[in-house]
Structure formats: structure tokens, C-alpha cells
Structure 1
């Protein structure tokens, strides 16, 4: 079993290197996509400070459907182009939102969320879903978070064998 401990790192770079190392160890030899996404969300939930939700929405039947997550119960279905998740999925571009209350059409699944980052999961040219992380802190996420979380998602794309219904 992979032991993951919360450690105080002296830099975000070291924290994210640790996160990506632990993610790789958990998913590189595991064939089950659901187990892998569940563990990926748990790693972020355990190791990132000041977040109140971390998880996945999967692209299915022309919409995003709630997948594995950590946090309060969430919206089950999100249409493409709607809210931060739907926008990231529709554009296939990371959305880094410093204040969700200023994002047009923001979907408030948790009224305590104030900032959000959503990274699309794209395998080849096909949308698989998104990684969504929320925070109660305004301006919680920055360009460094974006860079490392995009790397995190690239590891998921590399190692996770998604069912045909998602790719």
C-alpha cells in the first residue's frame, strides 16, 4: 500500500513534485479507471491546503457527469459551456478563476467556494472529462498551480485506461 503523509514543504514546486510522484505510484500499474480517479482525487484532497472540493466530471452523452470526488455532495450534471467546468470542457482549456462570483454563469454547487481551477482531461483529441478543484479562499490558485495540475492531469491521461464511453 502506498503511504501518503501530509508534509509541510518549503515550496509549491516540492509539494507538487511529491503529489505527482505519489499519483504515479498509485496509478501506473492499476488498470481500473475508477480506482485511479478515486485515488487521484484523494491525493489532492489530502495534500493541498485551502481546498473544499477536489474531483472529476466525466464527459458522457454530451454533458459532464459527476465522477469520483472528495468534499460535499456536488452537482450531478453540467452542460458544456455552462459554469467553470462546462467552459473548461467546451474550450478544452484550463480555467483558473480567482473569484467565482465574478465568473459569468458560475454554478454554485457549494456556496462556500470562492475560487476554482478546472483542467480538461483530453486523450488524443477527445474530451474525457475535467479535474475540478474548489477553494473557500479567493485567489487560492495561481499559474504555478495551473502548471503543476496540468502535469497531474497529463499523468492521468498517460496511465488511466478510460472506458470507450469516455473517449
Structure 2
């Protein structure tokens, strides 16, 4: 298993994976030394950089997250939420075929190991509130604003 730490606008992201795909992407405020990028992770680093530069809206990476079958179903459903769009936990539960599973869906969403690439930040409360994000609500807000199709334009 290889890993690399890269600096992003939201903190230091640690990317972990191997030839079978990405296993995790996590972020923290803790300053860490930047690493030499292992060849197997070069594409992931490049695509994340493009995302933050506003060039990339979708990722084309092999993913290999570890979790239960249910968690993997939820994470697959997250991949269907388009860039710049949000869905509620209730809507995500409906898409998975069980409206009563809303708490289990929320819990699986919170266990998503692939920050940004599997866009759990695009899931919000039924009333439109930003709720629950393992990386912190300030990061969720930043990501949703970054993906917003109606960014505030400067007048001058």
C-alpha cells in the first residue's frame, strides 16, 4: 500500500492506494511534510489538483474502498450525484430503495473513506441545512461553493 500527503486549499490530504485502486483520501489541518508521489498515486494527485483548480468536475480513478456491502452501495450511489448538485439523506435513502434506512445511509455516508472523489459532501439535510461531514462543516461549505454553478462574480 502506497500513500502520499499533498497540500490542498482545505488542508493536507493523505491519499492511500495501490495497483488495485484508491483505498482512502482523508484531510486534516495538521501540517505534514509533503511526500514524493508514488507512481501508482500520480493520477489521483493530478486529478485532485485539477478539481481544486476548477478544471475537473468528475474523477476517472479506480476505487477500492474497504467497507460493508451496504456501505459500498451507499458510496456507489454517491457517485451518481452530479457536480454542482445536492441531494438529501432522505432522497439518497429513496434511491437505495428503503426510505426507512435514512440513519443507516447517513452513517455509511459518514464512513466514506474517499473524500471528494466519492462526493459525500453533496448530501445535505432535507431542509437544505449542511449537516454531517467528517471533514468538518467548513470544508463541506467550501466544497459546495466551489462546485456551485452560480459563483459570485466580481463587479470590477
Larger RCO, structures 1/2 (Cα 8 Å, 6+ apart): 1
TM-score of the superposed pair, with normalisation by structure 1: 0.31
TM-score by length of 2: 0.32
- Higher radius of gyration, 1 or 2: 2
Structure with a larger share of its residues in strand? 1
